[in-house]
Structure 1
Amino acid sequence: MATYAGKTYTNGNVPASILAPLDGDNYGNAVLRLDAAESYNRARAEVKAKTGVVLTVRGWNRSYAEQVTFYLQRHRRAGAGDRVCCYWNGVPYVFTGTAHAAPPGTSNHGWGLAVDVVDFGGVGNFSHPRRVASIAILKKHGWTDDEGRGSIREPWHLVYNPAKDTQKNATPTLIPASTGGFMADLTEKQQRQMFHNVNQTEEVVRRLEEDMEARREADLKHQRASAARERLLVEGMKTLAGSVGVDPKTIERLLADAFKNITITLSTEA
Structure 2
Amino acid sequence: MRVPILNGKLPADLLVTLGTDAWGRPVRLTRAAGASLTRLSLLTHLPVGPTTIADSYRDYARQERYWDDPPNAGGLAARPGTSDHGWALALDLRGDLLAWATADEPTMNAHGWFRTIAAELWHWVYDQTRDQHQTPESKDKPMPLTTADLYQIRVVIADEVAKLLRNAEFRLARNQRKTDTPDPWTVVLPAKDGLGPAQARDWLIDARVDVARLVEQVTR
1:140 aligned residue: 110
- How far apart, CA to CA, are the structure 2 residues paired with 1:24 and 1:45? 17
1:259 aligned residue: none
With a CA cutoff of 8 Å and minimum separation of 6, indicate the structure with the bigger relative contact order: 2
1:72 equivalenced with 2:68 (yes/no): yes
1:98 equivalenced with 2:74 (yes/no): yes
Residues 134-181 of structure 1, C-alpha deviations (whole Å, 9 max, x = no match): 433222110011x222xxx00000000001100003xxxxxxxxxxxx
1:45 aligned residue: 42
Contact 1:64 1:105 in 2 (8 A): yes
1:58 equivalenced with 2:58 (yes/no): no
- How far apart, CA to CA, are the structure 1 residues paired with 2:74 and 2:31? 31
Count of residues in correspondence between the two structures: 133
Contact 2:113 2:125 in 1 (8 A): yes
CA gap 1:70/1:38 in 2 versus in 1, 3 angstroms: same
- How far apart, CA to CA, are the structure 2 residues paired with 1:97 and 1:39? 26
RMSD across aligned positions (CA): 3.1
When normalised by structure 2's length, the TM-score is: 0.52
1:15 equivalenced with 2:8 (yes/no): no
CA gap 1:40/1:99 in 2 versus in 1, 3 angstroms: farther
1:189 equivalenced with 2:137 (yes/no): yes
1:29 equivalenced with 2:5 (yes/no): no
1:167 equivalenced with 2:136 (yes/no): no
SS in 2 for 1:37: helix
* Structure 2: gaps of 5 or more residues: 139-220
CA gap 1:56/1:129 in 2 versus in 1, 3 angstroms: closer
Query: By how many angstroms is 1:47 displaced?
Result: 2.1
SS in 2 for 1:115: strand
Percent identity (aligned): 29
SS in 2 for 1:32: strand
Which letter maps to 2:131?
A: D
Identify which of 108, 128, 131 aligns with 2:84: 108
Which letter maps to 2:77?
A: A
Which letter maps to 1:167?
A: H
SS in 2 for 1:22: strand
Contact 2:111 2:130 in 1 (8 A): yes
* Structure 1: gaps of 5 or more residues: 1-5, 76-95, 122-127, 170-187, 191-270
- How far apart, CA to CA, are the structure 2 residues paired with 1:157 and 1:166? 20
Query: By how many angstroms is 1:108 displaced?
Result: 0.3
Greater fraction strand: 1
- How far apart, CA to CA, are the structure 1 residues paired with 2:121 and 2:18? 20
- How far apart, CA to CA, are the structure 1 residues paired with 2:76 and 2:106? 25
Query: By how many angstroms is 1:8 displaced?
Result: 4.9
When normalised by structure 1's length, the TM-score is: 0.43
SS in 1 for 2:63: helix
